[in-house]
Structure 1
Amino acid sequence: VLIDAFIENTNCVAYYGTNSYDSGYIAGRLLYEQINPAENIAIFRFIRKGEKQVTQVMKREEGFRNYLAEKNYDGRIYSVQLHADEPEKNISILNSFLEEHKEVNAGIIFNSRAHLLGKYFRDKGNKFRLIGYDVIDPNITCLNDGSISHLIAQRPEVQGFNCIRALFRHLVLKEKVEQINYMPIDILMKENIKYYNNYI
């Protein structure tokens, strides 16, 4: 049973998670509505040595770029490569990028490391419009203080519950389980984050 990211050709019993392309498409709309149509933006990526880009992240980026293309977005998209295990080097990379591209005040990261960027922009006093993924405590802190404008989430606790239930139905009850199970794509802001996990 797969959770969070669907891996093709695995013949899995079931998958629980969002449609990655659609979540990226929605992220494109969220960012587009915060900028001018010709405003330049950044896509941030944290990489590890030897780490390949995850299919889920690639699909999110594809959806994001396609939304902007459909809107005839006229700005430039910069790709900023950061290092997962080298925080000091990242500060240098970000400083250089923002010094060279002072006009860039909006961007996105397609994984849960948005808080690392949010903290950087907060410490710099930079009013940067940043969209990230996943409801983890550091991201919630950044959402509440305004250093992240939106988080896209997918209720991981509910995914986990449904995965265990699918395994039980398949192995114990011998029932047929639906293979692809897309979860809701949740858009969170500081105004609604405190209610997110109520009654789950």
Structure 2
Amino acid sequence: MKQVRIKDIAAKAGVSIGTVDRVLHNRGEVAEKTKEKILAIARDMNYQPNIVAQALTAKKQYHLAALIPRGGNDNVFWISHPQGIDKALKDLRPFLVDIKYYFFELHNETDFMLKSQEMMNDNPEGVIFAPILKKESVSLCAELDQRCIPYIFIDTYIENANCLSFIGEDAYQSGRVAASLIDYGVNPQKDILIVNIAKDLENTQHLNRRNQGFMSYFLDTGKNRGMKITVEIPSTERSIVDQKMDYILQSNPNISAILVSSAKTHVIARYIQNKKMKDILVVGYELTRKNVDYLKKGVIQFLIGQKPMEQSEKAVKKLFDYLTARQMPAKREFQPVEIINVENVDLF
């Protein structure tokens, strides 16, 4: 499809190229009737500004910020996001774009607030962040809105926020996908355990949405009639995990399947392997190295992925497009839900 140029709009409107340029870039005085005519023609012709040419000509430096959890140890999922951001920066290399990282400890409200304030003190022109801690993120959004700083959510979505866009999974729907996998693989009379590894589940938005989707499946169409038992484990420390899991499994011997609602599925897989448990169907989230190891060993049967590198890469590019050409992205862009088992894991 041929790209519409300013000269094409000028020819159709019967005005000079300079007049069209002034209207499209809001520079100088143009009669209101002429302005309306040019804008209408531009819309009809589906004119898209040449972002590359504009940004290169302007030679403006864009200072962006990324506020995300620190990856590593048992929190390996968040190692992938900086890789996606760095890839986007390489693609945008002709332009003057830099991103400063502000890493906070996952589920640590105090650290999130400290890093948020540090970020705001640096006055970024655009922000990419994971609003995992709902209350604290709502407060940050209000400050970003007040200062007219555009921001994009990754991983987690907060309703009624003024974000430019959200890029990530439909957490509710992914919970239903997890439920369907368990429903097909477990006896209808057996109980199901939902494990949430979080310090404050109520304030952890994406885990809540997954749980809601999971439960909705069984209320709607699920065949399983066993109990759905939920346990919240505040730490990945082995002694705490062992204590919580020992108690819940001894108290509920009919449990035959486990959903781990986060990327820390390997923590529960480690427990199952150490206890030499058999005939437990385990479904969890994210294609991390530790999770894949247990998938290949047969301890985990299914993983659900959401392409974290692609999330952050897209977020950078959408924010750049908005800052350079005011291109509004879609409010939500859901990543496709990937179902991974031992048969297809090497394809990812």
Query: Which TM-score applies when normalising by structure 1?
Result: 0.91
- Once residues 118 and 89 of structure 1 are traced to their aligned partners in structure 2, the CA distance between those partners, rounded to angstroms, is 15
The yes-or-no answer on 1:41 pairing with 2:192 is yes
Aligned equivalent of 2:327, options 165, 175, 198 = 175
The yes-or-no answer on 1:123 pairing with 2:274 is yes
Q: CA deviation at 1:54?
A: 1.4
Higher relative contact order (CA 8 A, sep 6+): 1
Structure 1 portions without partners, runs of 5+: none
Letter in 2 for 1:181: E
Aligned equivalent of 2:171, options 1, 12, 20 = 20
- Once residues 140 and 149 of structure 1 are traced to their aligned partners in structure 2, the CA distance between those partners, rounded to angstroms, is 10
Q: CA deviation at 1:23?
A: 0.6
- Once residues 306 and 257 of structure 2 are traced to their aligned partners in structure 1, the CA distance between those partners, rounded to angstroms, is 23
- Once residues 23 and 51 of structure 1 are traced to their aligned partners in structure 2, the CA distance between those partners, rounded to angstroms, is 18
- Once residues 6 and 108 of structure 1 are traced to their aligned partners in structure 2, the CA distance between those partners, rounded to angstroms, is 22
CA offsets 1:76-109 (integer angstroms, 9 cap, x no match): 0111222215420221221222222222121101
Runs of 4+ in 1 over 6 A off after TM superposition: none
Match of 2:249 in 1: 98
Q: CA deviation at 1:51?
A: 6.3
Aligned equivalent of 1:146, options 281, 295, 298 = 298
Match of 2:204 in 1: 54
Match of 2:317 in 1: 165
Percent identity of paired positions between Structure 1 and Structure 2: 25
- Once residues 173 and 201 of structure 2 are traced to their aligned partners in structure 1, the CA distance between those partners, rounded to angstroms, is 24
- Once residues 318 and 303 of structure 2 are traced to their aligned partners in structure 1, the CA distance between those partners, rounded to angstroms, is 28
CA offsets 1:41-95 (integer angstroms, 9 cap, x no match): 10111232x5644121111111111111222531101112222154202212212
The yes-or-no answer on 1:63 pairing with 2:213 is yes
The structure with more helix, counted as a fraction of residues: 2
The CA RMSD measured in Å over matched residues stands at: 1.5
CA offsets 1:101-136 (integer angstroms, 9 cap, x no match): 222121101111110000110111112211111111
Structure 2 portions without partners, runs of 5+: 1-151
Match of 2:160 in 1: 9
Number of equivalent positions? 195
- Once residues 43 and 100 of structure 1 are traced to their aligned partners in structure 2, the CA distance between those partners, rounded to angstroms, is 15
Letter in 2 for 1:130: V
- Once residues 47 and 20 of structure 1 are traced to their aligned partners in structure 2, the CA distance between those partners, rounded to angstroms, is 16
Q: How does 1:73-84 map to 2 (within 5 A)?
A: 73-84=224-235
Query: Which TM-score applies when normalising by structure 2?
Result: 0.54
